[in-house]
Structure 1
Amino acid sequence: MSGRYWKQVLERGLAVPTDRPLAELTAELTTLLGSPDPELRDGVAYPTLGTWIDRGVYDELLVGLGDGMAAGLATGLGESDTDTVFRRSFSVLVLATVVERDTSQHLVPGEKVLRWGDQIVSWFLRERDLRGFVPGKGWAHAVAHGADAVGSLAGSRHFGLNELTVLLDVVADRLLQSDQPLLYGEPDRLAHAVMGVLRRNLVPTRVVEPWIARIAARANSHLTRGHVDPYRPTLNAQHFLRALYLQLSLGPTPPADRADLVLVTVDALRASNPWTLGR
């Protein structure tokens, strides 16, 4: 169908059209999630699917919808600088909304949500297209969208201590995998996802502290490397630690052990910035 059809749907407040079956509409919207046209992808497909999920349109079909979005994570996986990234990156946003719907309404079996979690994590760590804004095509933003999905998983009632600890490791792995600078707000989104884990108050400080130390070790590496550009490999870790500090200090609904975590993060920042934060 033409963009004009969906523009009319938007103008009607995203009421579900009655002239076509829901399955047909959903299939078309799923295809549009991978469109290189930001107006169709970001302006139509994602907000329409997200709104319909939030309104309960898919409550009886939530498992099937989630499975379809999870399948989209494999589309072109391993490619870089191609348009397939849009399908993966926006599928994970919709899947995150599905998880959030289950969290609020208890509609999906736990084993299914855990399976989606495995698929999200596998995609997130294997994604190679780390572009943020693509000129002429809008946001790809796979790392930021993956971080949002991790945050949604962190809020799931099906995720306990072990699963939440894995999510922390996934964030660190994604952050430290590559020296490619993340310049489009991704460190802030990753830190926000981590706050979703910490606010559950299930992962103890004795587990979080060495996790922060692992990231701090990368942030400190410019102090010892004989590298042509010693700051490039540390950039993402540095930005993340700053973002985490801001989230812990200024974010709403702080975790129970915020004071201890702030001190740990401050120590990491001081150690990796001795010229500007030295005592």
Structure 2
Amino acid sequence: MARSYWKQVLDHGLQVPTDRPLDDLTAELTSMLGSADPVLRDGTAYPALATWVDRGVYDDLLVGLGDGMAAGLTVGLGEVGTDSVFRRTFSVLVLAAVIERDTAAQLLPGDQVLRWGDRIVSWLLRERDLRGYVPGKGWAHSVAHGADAIAALAGSRHFGATELTVLLDVLADRILSADTQLESGEPDRVASAVMAVLRRNLVPTKVVEPWVARLAASGNPYVLRGDRDPYLATNNAQQLLRSLYLHLAVAPGPPADKADLVLAAVDALRATNPFTLAR
């Protein structure tokens, strides 16, 4: 459809058009999620789908919509530097909206949300295109969008202590396995997802503390790592530690064991910054 059609939809507060079947509208918007044009993708398709999900338009169709978004996570998976990344990274945002809708309205069985969780985790760990902002095409942001989806899973009533612990490990794995420095705010988004897990108050401190220590072990630039600038190899873990400390210290709605977690983060930061923080 012409851009003018969707501009009218946006101008009318994203009310669902009545001149076309919802299935047709959804199919077109889903295709637009993969567009290299940020106006169509980020400015039209994603807000339309996410808003309609939030308003309950898809309440009777959530499984089909979520499965369609999960399928989008495999489109071009493994490619680096191609436009296929947009379909994956914006599909996961819509899938996150679907999960959040279930959390708000309690519409879906647990096994369905858990299956989507498996799909999200598998995609996030296998994604190789870690670009943040792509000039001329806008945000790809796979790590940030993946973290947003993990945060949505963390808020689900279907996720207990075991599943939440897995989510923490996935977030650490993604940060530590990145083969490039994440410079577009990704550590902050990952820290926000970690906080979503911690706010459930189901994962005990004795589990979180070794998780923080794992980040510290990979975030210490003073450990020899061959003939390479050690800060390049440790930056992502270090930035996540710093962001997590900031979130714990100032973000609203802290977890019940905030004091112990702040101390764990402080200890990790002191250990990995001995010349500036350990004096």
Inter-partner Cα distance in structure 2 for 1:278 and 1:103: 43
Classify the secondary structure of the residue corresponding to 2:166.
helix
CA distance in 1, matches of 2:96, 2:237: 25
245 and 201 in structure 1: CA distance in 2 versus 1, 3 angstrom threshold = same
1:69 corresponds to: 69
The 8 Å contact of residues 155 and 197 in structure 1, kept in 2 or not, is answered as yes
Residues 134-168 of structure 1, C-alpha deviation per residue, up to 9 Å, x if partnerless?
00000000100000000000000000011000000
Q: In structure 2, how many angstroms separate the alpha carbons of the residues matched to 1:62 and 1:49?
A: 12
Tell me, yes or no, if the aligned pair for 1:219 and 1:235 is still in contact at 8 Å: yes
**1:55 alignment counterpart:** 55
Residue aligning to 1:108: 108
Alignment deviations for residues 222-273 of structure 1 (CA, whole Å, 9 cap, x no partner): 3333432111000001100000000000011000000000001000000100
Deviation larger for 219-228 or 69-78:
219-228
Q: 2:85 matched to which residue of 1? A: 85
- Residues of 1 paired with 2:2 and 2:222: CA distance? 53
State how far apart, in whole Å, the 2-side matches of 1:179 and 1:229 are: 14
Counterparts in 2 of 1:180-219, with a 5 A limit? Answer: 180-219=180-219
Looking at structure 2, the residues matched to 52 and 58 of structure 1 have their Cα atoms a distance apart, in angstroms, of 7
> Is 216-225 or 20-29 further displaced after alignment?
216-225
Residue 152 of structure 2 is matched in structure 1 by: 152
Task: After TM superposition, give the deviation of residue 2 of structure 1 in Å.
Answer: 1.1
Q: Is 1:222–1:234's contact at 8 Å kept on the other side of the alignment? A: no
Amino acid at match of 1:3: R
- Count of aligned pairs: 279
Partner of 1:266: 266
Superposed CA offset, 1:100-158 (max 9, x none): 00000001111000000000000000000000000000000010000000000000000
Q: What is the CA–CA distance in structure 2 between the aligned matches of 1:95 and 1:228, rounded to whole Å? A: 39
The residue correspondences of 1:28-43 to structure 2 (distance < 5 A) are 28-43=28-43
TM superposition shift of 1:178: 2.4
TM-score by length of 1: 0.99
2:213 corresponds to 1:228 = no
Instruction: Compute the TM-score of the two structures, normalised by the length of structure 2.
Output: 0.99
Once the two structures are TM-superposed, the CA of residue 278 in structure 1 deviates from its matched residue by 1.6
CA contact (8 A) 1:182 1:236 kept: yes
CA–CA separation in structure 2 for the residues paired with 1:77 and 1:225:
30
Of 125-134 and 217-226, more deviation after overlay is shown by 217-226
The whole-number CA distance in structure 1 between the counterparts of 2:178 and 2:149 is 20
Tell me, in whole angstroms, the C-alpha distance in 2 between the residues paired with 1:45 and 1:136.
Answer: 18
> Structure 2 CA distance, aligned partners of 1:142 and 1:128?
9
Q: CA deviation at 1:221?
A: 4.7
Q: Measure, in 1, the Cα distance between the counterparts of 2:238 and 2:164.
A: 23
C-alpha distance in 1 between matches for 2:228 and 2:183: 20
Identity %: 72
How far, CA to CA, are the matches of 1:13 and 1:273 in structure 2?
49
Residues 148-204 of structure 1: CA distance to partner in whole angstroms, max 9, x if unpaired? Answer: 000000000000011000000000100000241000000000000000000000000
Question: 2:170 maps to which residue?
Answer: 170
Task: Please name the residue that 1:256 is paired with.
Answer: 256
Q: Structure 1 regions of 5+ residues with no counterpart? A: none
Q: How far apart in 2 are the matches of 1:65 and 1:230?
A: 44
